[in-house]
Amino acid sequence: MKAIQKKLAEIYPEKDVEIIALSIKNLIGKYQNLVKPSTSQLTHKDIVLIAYGDHVKTDGEMPLQTLAKFATKYLYDHIDSIHILPFYPYSSDDGFSVIDYYQVNPDLGTWQDVEALAKDYKLMFDAVVNHISSQSKWFQGYLNGKEQYENYFIEKSPDTDLSAVVRPRALPLLSKFVDAKGNTRHIWTTFSQDQIDLNYENPKVLLQVLDVLLFYISKGAKLLRLDAIGFLWKVPGTTSIHLPQTHSIIQLVRLVLGQVSKEVTLVTETNVPHQENISYFGDGTNEAQMVYNFTLPPLLAFSLLKEDTKTLQAWAASLSLPSQQTCFFNFTASHDGVGVRPLQGIVPDADIDFLAKTAKKHGGYISYKNNPDGSQSPYELNCNYLDLIAHYDEEDEVRIKKMLLTQGVALCMPGVPGIYFHSLVGSGNYKKGVEATGMKRTINREKLDYEVLCKELEAPNSFRAKLYKQFLNLIDTRKKYQVFNPFGDFKFPKVHKNVFAIERVGETQKILCLFNFSSKTIELDLGETSGENVLTGLNENLKALKLKAWEQKWICLDA
């Protein structure tokens, strides 16, 4: 408890630390009896499917049960972890405006359904704890003057100078609400009027959120995704992002959760420039064990569209980890769009504009953010990842090769790979959904009919089946080789401006993963005589190795 008290002293007045620490001690005692002790570590076999609870549906069955059925039929023995996107009751933003942290959305299923999935898969839960729904009991209690919820939220005068605050959306920072007495309250809302930021200056909020996180562990969560966590602490006159108190709270969370389960992994979600993003590793032992690799998705797309990997190579060569207890969460697509802020400082603004124009050309949309000078700039590309990197008019074979090239990189990068449901089954832009909801992000959030999807995956010549089968080969190959340990050694050798190379090194062997980002055949002399292509089982002549357009080869060599 000394470490917890020391961390609390970095956040709250000294006079309050002891009583807060006592409350935390009681929370730990409450949940220690509910969680079975475990110390299993992440390995090369850990691959995370990212999915909504109702990504696949069938009549007469709870969606979480359908997801479990789909996973048993198509994922078992291939993927061992599932990130179920927010499955709590919500009022907007497809789950990210949570009404009740402790309940399962009855439209999806029950806690029994979640716990059933937890028996077969490691589960990642979303901890949407920067904000809560305006319809939540917490906020409604606040507006009704209930003492329990006093100071749970942040009220500021509209005259307060908040111009320095980083704005992720082109929306007002303060939203107006009328309380039970008829008074107008101006409340801090970073993301939308329905997403009310919590006030962590009130230690009661911290204690309540710690209870939520421990509750999730008791329900089977092995990974906790800390959504939008960079905005947690606010101070007018500052950027109110990545403040020291935010880092201290995450470090505190790690200390507290570690008292209940050594197995839980904290994953920070901060869609910001790379150096800001990796600050959430802390010193390598005290903060997030895993950080979303937000630069990877847009930079892979940019490199493939430009048929040039020089920028990708330079960025990758700069990657380092503060300890062997930390790693990246490597993904290309998710429920959100492709964020372009992580490219700032890596490519010129003109190249970000190129990506935005390409997304539009390929049937997507652009979301913008407000800048301090009053201008707007692209924040996110709202486009299915397959359609972003490969125009829908291109031949199926080319589209599949391009998609698998990017997924292969994510599987070989140091860290744990995350695969979005629609990437695995070969979906495209869902424009009808955008028209129906008016939300740009719906373009990559289509809900599929279980029976229809199964038929397509089992039709040998369908686009979905061809991509899915080849994707599984990449996944299964990764799982065979310990060199892909998330915390293992890695290098990024330069071999050609059009070819991205990742070298993963183990005790007795190494695998050189080569990815041709161009539409031309590339011939390489790698200095070695020969090696096995572990994707095909064929021996390759490394003195004259040929990579066809968009081709990847993973070559096994002696260490």
Per-residue pLDDT of the chain (559 residues; tens, 9 = 90+): 899 999 999 999 999 999 999 999 999 999 998 887 776 789 999 999 999 999 999 999 999 999 999 999 999 999 999 999 999 999 999 999 999 999 999 999 999 999 999 999 999 999 999 999 999 999 999 999 999 999 999 999 999 999 999 988 778 999 999 999 999 999 999 999 999 999 999 999 999 999 999 999 999 999 999 999 999 999 999 999 999 999 999 999 999 999 999 889 999 999 888 999 999 999 999 999 999 999 999 999 999 999 999 999 999 999 999 999 999 999 999 999 999 999 999 999 999 999 999 999 999 999 988 777 777 889 999 999 999 999 999 999 999 999 999 999 999 999 999 999 999 999 999 999 999 999 999 999 999 999 999 999 999 999 999 999 999 999 999 999 999 999 999 999 999 999 999 999 988 889 999 999 999 999 999 987 889 999 999 999 999 999 999 999 999 987 5
What would the two tokens of residue 333 be?
């697509």
Cβ atoms within 10 Å, residue 201: 15
- Please state, in angstroms and rounded to a whole number, the distance separating the CA atoms of residues 67 and 387: 25
Equal fold, 1-131+202-289 vs 294-324+326-488 = yes
- Residue 534 amino acid letter: V
| Residue ranges of domains in the chain | 1-131+202-289, 294-324+326-488, 489-558
Q: For this structure, is 227 an active site residue?
A: yes
- Strands 327-330 and 416-420 come out as parallel
Coil, strand, or helix at residue 376? strand
- Please state, in angstroms and rounded to a whole number, the distance separating the CA atoms of residues 229 and 190: 12
Q: Which of 224, 237, 238 is nearest to 81 (CA)?
A: 224
Q: Which CATH number fits domain 489-558: 2.60.40.1180, 1.10.110.30, 2.60.120.200, 3.80.10.10?
A: 2.60.40.1180
- Please state, in angstroms and rounded to a whole number, the distance separating the CA atoms of residues 312 and 548: 20
CB-CB contact of 341 with 273 (8 Å): yes
Coil, strand, or helix at residue 41? coil
Strand boundaries in 189-336, DSSP class E: 195-197, 221-226, 265-268, 290-292, 327-330
pLDDT at res. 440: 95
Specify the DSSP element, H or E, that contains 259: helix 244-260
Asked if CATH classification 3.30.420.40 holds for the domain at 294-324+326-488, the reply, yes or no, is no
Give the Å distances, CA to CA, from 414 to 203, 319, 351, 354, 417: 37, 10, 26, 28, 9
Quote the pTM value: 0.96
Residue 275: burial class (beta carbons within 10 Å; 0-12, 13-18, 19+) = exposed
CATH code for the structural domain at 1-131+202-289: 3.20.20.80
pLDDT at res. 408: 98
pLDDT at res. 412: 98
- Please state, in angstroms and rounded to a whole number, the distance separating the CA atoms of residues 523 and 530: 14
DSSP codes, 82-139 = EEE---S-BSSGGGTSBS-TTS--TTT--HHHHHHHHHHSEEEEEE--SEEETTSHHH
Q: Which of 12, 28, 31 is nearest to 20 (CA)?
A: 12
Give the Å distances, CA to CA, from 411 to 31, 48, 396, 408: 35, 11, 22, 5
Exactly one of 227, 336, 351, 387 is catalytic; name it. 227
Bridge partners of 155, per DSSP, are: 187
pLDDT at res. 122: 95
- Please state, in angstroms and rounded to a whole number, the distance separating the CA atoms of residues 170 and 403: 31
